[in-house]
Each structure stands twice: as C-alpha cells, then as structure tokens.
Structure 1
Amino acid sequence: MATRRSVLGDAHVDRASENMTDFDIPFQTMITEGAWGTVWSGDALTKRERSIVTIALLAALGHEEELAMHVRATANTGASAEDIREALMHVAIYAGVPAANTAIKVAKEALLGLKT
C-alpha cells in the first residue's frame, strides 16, 4: 500500500478505498498485492522507468482513464513530460498512430488541463 500511495498519492488511494464494496474488495486486494506489492515495488527499474513503461502500455492498449491517472502520477514518479512524449512516440511506431494520437490528447489534458 505504501508504494501505491507513493505513486498515485494519498487522495487517489483514499478515494479508491472509500469506494470499495464487498463486490470489488478481492479485486482491489489483488491489484494492491500484485501491481503495487510486487511489480511496482521491485528493484530492477526505478519508479520513473516503471511509469514510462506503464504509460506506453496503457496508451497502446487504449486504456484512457488509467493512462490519465498514470500521467498525473508522474508528479510522484519523476517521469517528465518529455519522458511521456517519447514513450508515446514509441507507441505511434509500435502500436499505431491512432493509439498514440488519442494518448497525446489524454496526456495533454492530464498534464496541462488542455481540452483537445
């Protein structure tokens, strides 16, 4: 939970926790243990590097809401706007321009509050 809080921030984690129900508690537990307790807590990559990889994957898969959340989380991970842009350039080449185009719009809105 400490890693999840350090990346996403207390406000986000508190909101997610407050909105849990009996239905999604097992899912939230799995995410906390698997994503945050294992993947994000490993020593092989920095939080900045994990952030860049996560942004690229979410963009390539078209997961806009999660992408926006992780773009905002770069304030906590050390990934820069330039890092995000470069990750999305890779998405354009390896996952397609339409995916990257959408991701650029999402990132601009998340970073700058710009509606495109």
Structure 2
Amino acid sequence: MAMRPEFQSEQFKKGLEVRRAVVGDAYVNKSLDSADDLTAPLQKLVTEYCWGDVWTRPGLERKTRSFLNLAMLIALNRPNELRLHMRGAINNGITKAEIVEVVLQAAIYCGVPASLDAMKAAREVIAEMEKEGPVA
C-alpha cells in the first residue's frame, strides 16, 4: 500500500494505528487504497482527528467508546457504519450479549425500526466474524 503524502503526519500515523486495531486492516487498507484526490482529505480528517485525537484520549476505554458508537449509530440510522463499528466493538471486547443489550436499549430510546435494523446488522457481522473464529 503506497501512502499518499498527506497521510504521512505523526497524527495520521497515531490514528492509523488505532483505526487498524479497532476496525481491522482489511477495511482500513480498502479505504486508504481507494483514496483519490476527492476522498483523501476526508480520509486524512477521519484518521487524524477521529482516530488519532478522540479515540486516543485517556478519558474513556476503547470498549466504552465502542458502546457509545453503537448507540449513536443506531440512533442516527447509519447501518454501514454500524456494521463496521460492531466489528470494532467485538474487537474491543464487547460480547454478543452486550450488543443485544445495546440494541434493546436503543429500541426504547431510538425506536423499534432502528433496533430491528441494528439487530439485522449484528446478526450479519457476528456470523461473518464467527467464520474467522469464536466470538464471545
């Protein structure tokens, strides 16, 4: 993977390390490898500030950040990002049972349609990850 010049800052590298640890190399490589002049600025912003600044702050553990992301993405009805962050949540130690609890909590506060979509995403992600190995 050839790195674009704008992807060379220390903050980018710091964020890239966390991003890879949470959502996995395959997703990150695909995102960065497909970056072009149009999309590279957004990849830089996301990697440096989301992953390199916020995700590395000492105030919350990664697992807690993952809980928050799941709840917010359910509330916002963002199924693609939700699937990605479910994988990240499991990588950060969230169990299948805890994902069910987040979805149930969201059903009350975000609505049944949002929770049904979230449970569908959870089923898909967990099934996919179980092909790779056991999921807690």
- TM-score, normalised with respect to structure 2: 0.78
The letter for the 1-side match of 2:91 is N
Q: Offset of 1:74 from its aligned partner?
A: 2.6
Q: Offset of 1:97 from its aligned partner?
A: 1.1
SS of corresponding position for 1:93: helix
SS of corresponding position for 1:20: coil
70, 76, 82: which one aligns with 2:91: 76
The letter for the 1-side match of 2:117 is T
| 1:62-101 equivalences in 2 (<5 Å) | 62-101=77-116
Q: What is the rounded CA distance, in whole Å, between the counterparts of 1:10 and 1:17 in structure 2?
A: 10
Structure 1 stretches (4+) deviating beyond 6 angstroms? none
Q: What is the rounded CA distance, in whole Å, between the counterparts of 1:13 and 1:63 in structure 2?
A: 19
Alignment check: 8 A CA contact 1:53 1:87 kept: no
The answer to whether 1:32 aligns with 2:54 is no
- TM-score, normalised with respect to structure 1: 0.91
Q: What is the rounded CA distance, in whole Å, between the counterparts of 1:36 and 1:25 in structure 2?
A: 15
Q: What is the rounded CA distance, in whole Å, between the counterparts of 2:103 and 2:57 in structure 1?
A: 24
Alignment check: 8 A CA contact 1:89 1:100 kept: yes
Larger Rg: 2
The letter for the 2-side match of 1:81 is K
Q: How many residues align?
A: 113
> Residue deviations 1:40-96, cap 9 Å, x none?
111111111111110111111110011111112233211111121111111111111
Q: Percent identity?
A: 37
Which residue number corresponds to residue 22 of structure 1?
A: 37
SS of corresponding position for 2:120: helix
Root mean square deviation, CA, Å: 1.1
Alignment check: 8 A CA contact 1:48 1:77 kept: yes
Gaps in structure 1 of 5+ consecutive residues: none
